[in-house]
A and B are shown apart, each in its own frame.
Chain A
């Protein structure tokens, strides 16, 4: 190239571009790291803190993720700005000449030439020229002979990437420190919400209809609400109940489709469902029975099996389905049982979640959440108000929902010689626990002592077992107390004081849940 001014100009532009790229490279790695960490925070959490039993609250995780993504974007934008500034700074004619001077070892001839031929200041440059300037021009041309600017000024990414990786490491360390500060041991609500989310995930994965998808969404909403400490308990319960209703709806649809296959047995089972409806409404007069008219399902139906009443299930499909399953094909039965189990689990978890909300609300009663407050009363239909509709799942944790000892106890006591068929959990989707249906003391059955003969207590369908240690045996009037020598004696002195009666307002954690798989053992 004959014009050294053009050569210097080209070199200046290339140096400026390289400077901008290098600067951008410095910013890219930390930005990508931050954005990547922000985007994949959940999978990272799955393999790190979640694996070790810690929990990053979703709202905190969202904030951290947002902060990381935002930080990454800021770094990216800052990188762009700095790159632009580096471009402008490096796009200097004289500076490029200095680079070329060093490169070609020209003893500042190129710099001098550039200062005297600077296109950005032509007048002042020209004024400083002397009659020797042509010599300088020729020297510059001679120096630039064979010069390839692209070859001489190459993009070297090693150093920028090295620097960039340091910044990326800083970002990663900052993320780790932030996470360490934010992770907590999971609370019962977190655990429950996680379970609900897992169920929702499973449902969403195996969803075959829009109802399942809607159910999964509802469950997720309920889980989110459960963890959200800012939401009032009423709102949390509302979400949970919505999830329950959606579960009922989905189960009902599934049963409907199943009942078509089992029409032959549907009739008799409809009666079961019919009877159960009433029991629910009676036993839970103050329960949270805001159920839909066509969803007379759940615990109420099942309990009702012990108390043949005049309750009416609008469709009786659940029982019909259960019975019908016996007569259906084996595969259908398995699928149905699987679905029921899932539904049972879901309902159990939802019930537990609701109980936790209640418990939390009881611990921190707000002005609007006093026990016995009308707001905390379940919206169940009063007996006789709407006998044609069965109530929704009762809420045993709400004050007032728990049956009082002695109050309407007869309705809760399984009648002697009652329908034993209904005592069994025959694969119903009503759940294996019925919070709130606490057996009363009058319904207590005594376990046999070792060696004692007699009828075993029939607690197979019990949802709760309340243990009460017997008091000191009284000899009665004129009787004689005989020491039982075979009785094992304690090595230390102790007082076998009778336990205080369990409070009806006791949180559900203190109530013993008896899962079905342990019932036979107890029996």
Chain B
């Protein structure tokens, strides 16, 4: 179990964070074969206080991965299967008329959104009305029903999945909602070795048991303390300028925008993108045993943090130019300030 971070020395806190993170990865890896980068990004998003959008075909173990992570961290987990007829009240909850002691009263029935970890499966299948019901929860960590506001217990993370293949009958997430996800990670198909391992694990009699890192009662507080540690990681001014230049470089007509950006993009990342970059870089720094961010930490975060924040234009889609390729060009061409 992790030590009490607030009472420990800074070095101890950093060491605890690395240990917790590493163990969480290991425990999730007991049930999920491969996808280490997806698992890392999921945990990173958790410690950053953000949400993650996972894109992948069905059957890759997305639900299992999130469930395993919640079990490992001792957090509550809910899953919402988004469908076209799903209503916001189905997610948030609703007032239910109940009778107790001869009195009838409305009582709020919490929806599945009230959990530490919420898996929104195939979120693009729900109508925009339902999708937008998640917006307040994701950003404000609270929901309002019939004028009453209910706070979501921290830590709170929404892991949404979407199927990139089936577009018929789907409602692609609007940019405003996409921007609320700190990361968008793409889950690819497993490699042959990984697939064989998956088969061995899931078709046999053996069951992997996950060892939780925290007691369920202490887990939210421990996670919150580690989230606070992430925000204590220091960033030098030159690196802040670099992040700003990255955002400017990805914005069409922005300062330092490369030609490809102006050619293929309609809109660039918002300030939320810069926030996501810094937070992700801080987690990367802690994982490297440092208390300050480096350029490598930032570069490592650029693609997952910004890929879903770039709005490609028609020409880019016609020429099959991806946002990832544009971001890689930006990383290559931007000069890292020294002072």
Contact B10 A134, beta carbon cutoff 8 Å? yes
CB of A79, distance to nearest CB on chain B (Å): 25
The reply on A77 being an interface residue by CB < 8 A is no
Query: For residue B291, which residues in chain A have a CB less than 8 angstroms away from its CB?
Result: 130, 132-133, 135-136, 139
Query: For residue A128, which residues in chain B have a CB less than 8 angstroms away from its CB?
Result: 234
Query: For residue B338, which residues in chain A have a CB less than 8 angstroms away from its CB?
Result: 95, 98, 111
Residue of B nearest to A115 (CB): B236
Stretch at the interface among B77-85, B171-179, B293-301: B293-301
Size of interface on A: residues with Cβ below 8 Å to B: 24
The reply on B290 being an interface residue by CB < 8 A is yes
Residue in B232, B236, B238, B296 whose CB lies within 8 Å of A131? B232
Query: For residue B237, which residues in chain A have a CB less than 8 angstroms away from its CB?
Result: 94, 115
The reply on B288 being an interface residue by CB < 8 A is yes
Contact A112 B234, beta carbon cutoff 8 Å? yes
Residue of B nearest to A98 (CB): B338
The reply on B339 being an interface residue by CB < 8 A is yes
Size of interface on B: residues with Cβ below 8 Å to A: 23
Contact A98 B292, beta carbon cutoff 8 Å? no
Contact B238 A135, beta carbon cutoff 8 Å? no
CB of B233, distance to nearest CB on chain A (Å): 7
Complex CA gap A257/B163 in Å reads: 124
Contact B339 A112, beta carbon cutoff 8 Å? no
Residue of A nearest to B286 (CB): A132
Complex CA gap A128/B235 in Å reads: 9
The reply on B194 being an interface residue by CB < 8 A is no
Contact B238 A98, beta carbon cutoff 8 Å? yes
Complex CA gap A405/B296 in Å reads: 107
CB of A515, distance to nearest CB on chain B (Å): 80
Near A by CB (< 8 A), chain B positions 284-339 give 288, 290-296, 338-339
Query: For residue B292, which residues in chain A have a CB less than 8 angstroms away from its CB?
Result: 107-109, 112-113, 136
In this complex, the member of A94, A113, A132, A134 whose beta carbon has the largest number of chain B beta carbons within 10 angstroms is: A132
Residue of B nearest to A107 (CB): B294
Complex CA gap A115/B234 in Å reads: 10
The reply on B68 being an interface residue by CB < 8 A is no
Complex CA gap A273/B283 in Å reads: 116
Query: For residue A205, which residues in chain B have a CB less than 8 angstroms away from its CB?
Result: none
Interface string of A123-145 (1 = CB under 8 A from B): 00000111111111011000000
Residue of A nearest to B297 (CB): A107
The reply on A389 being an interface residue by CB < 8 A is no
The reply on A116 being an interface residue by CB < 8 A is yes
Query: For residue B229, which residues in chain A have a CB less than 8 angstroms away from its CB?
Result: 132
The reply on A241 being an interface residue by CB < 8 A is no
CB of A513, distance to nearest CB on chain B (Å): 80
Query: For residue A116, which residues in chain B have a CB less than 8 angstroms away from its CB?
Result: 234, 236
Near A by CB (< 8 A), chain B positions 201-232 give 229, 232
The reply on A248 being an interface residue by CB < 8 A is no
The reply on B86 being an interface residue by CB < 8 A is no
Contact A132 B234, beta carbon cutoff 8 Å? yes
Contact A111 B232, beta carbon cutoff 8 Å? no
Complex CA gap A138/B292 in Å reads: 13
Interface string of A88-103 (1 = CB under 8 A from B): 0000101100100000
Query: For residue A94, which residues in chain B have a CB less than 8 angstroms away from its CB?
Result: 236-238, 339
Contact A107 B14, beta carbon cutoff 8 Å? no
CB of B97, distance to nearest CB on chain A (Å): 51
CB of B232, distance to nearest CB on chain A (Å): 4
Contact B234 A107, beta carbon cutoff 8 Å? no
Contact A136 B339, beta carbon cutoff 8 Å? no
In this complex, the member of A112, A115, A129 whose beta carbon has the largest number of chain B beta carbons within 10 angstroms is: A112
Query: For residue A132, which residues in chain B have a CB less than 8 angstroms away from its CB?
Result: 10, 13-14, 229, 232-234, 291
CB of A112, distance to nearest CB on chain B (Å): 4
Query: For residue B239, which residues in chain A have a CB less than 8 angstroms away from its CB?
Result: 108, 111-112
Complex CA gap A235/B229 in Å reads: 95
Contact A111-B233, Cβ < 8 Å, known A135-B291, A139-B290: no
Residue of B nearest to A116 (CB): B234
Contact A135 B10, beta carbon cutoff 8 Å? yes
Residue in A108, A130, A135 whose CB lies within 8 Å of B236? A108
Query: For residue A115, which residues in chain B have a CB less than 8 angstroms away from its CB?
Result: 236-238
The reply on B11 being an interface residue by CB < 8 A is yes
Complex CA gap A114/B237 in Å reads: 10
Residue of A nearest to B294 (CB): A107
Complex CA gap A107/B339 in Å reads: 14
Complex CA gap A138/B9 in Å reads: 13
Residue in B14, B234, B295 whose CB lies within 8 Å of A129? B234
Complex CA gap A108/B290 in Å reads: 10
Residue of A nearest to B236 (CB): A112
Complex CA gap A130/B286 in Å reads: 14
Complex CA gap A503/B258 in Å reads: 87
CB of B47, distance to nearest CB on chain A (Å): 15
Complex CA gap A112/B14 in Å reads: 17
Complex CA gap A299/B236 in Å reads: 96
Contact A130-B232, Cβ < 8 Å, known A95-B338, A98-B238, A115-B237: yes
Query: For residue A108, which residues in chain B have a CB less than 8 angstroms away from its CB?
Result: 236, 238-239, 292-295
In this complex, the member of A92, A95, A98 whose beta carbon has the largest number of chain B beta carbons within 10 angstroms is: A98
Query: For residue A139, which residues in chain B have a CB less than 8 angstroms away from its CB?
Result: 290-291
Residue of B nearest to A102 (CB): B338
Residue of B nearest to A92 (CB): B339
Complex CA gap A114/B229 in Å reads: 21
Complex CA gap A296/B288 in Å reads: 108
In this complex, the member of B235, B292, B295, B296 whose beta carbon has the largest number of chain A beta carbons within 10 angstroms is: B292
Query: For residue B11, which residues in chain A have a CB less than 8 angstroms away from its CB?
Result: 135, 138
Between-chain CB contacts (< 8 Å), 6 pairs: A107-B294, A108-B295, A111-B236, A113-B292, A132-B234, A138-B11
B: which residues have CB within 8 A of A? 10-11, 13-14, 229, 232-239, 288, 290-296, 338-339
The 7 residue pairs across chains A and B that have the minimum distance between CB atoms = A112-B292, A107-B294, A112-B236, A132-B291, A130-B232, A98-B338, A95-B339
Given A94-B238, A131-B232, A139-B291, output 19 extra A-B contacts at Cβ < 8 Å. A95-B338, A98-B338, A107-B288, A107-B294, A107-B296, A108-B236, A108-B238, A108-B293, A108-B295, A111-B238, A112-B236, A128-B234, A132-B13, A132-B229, A132-B232, A133-B234, A134-B10, A136-B234, A136-B291
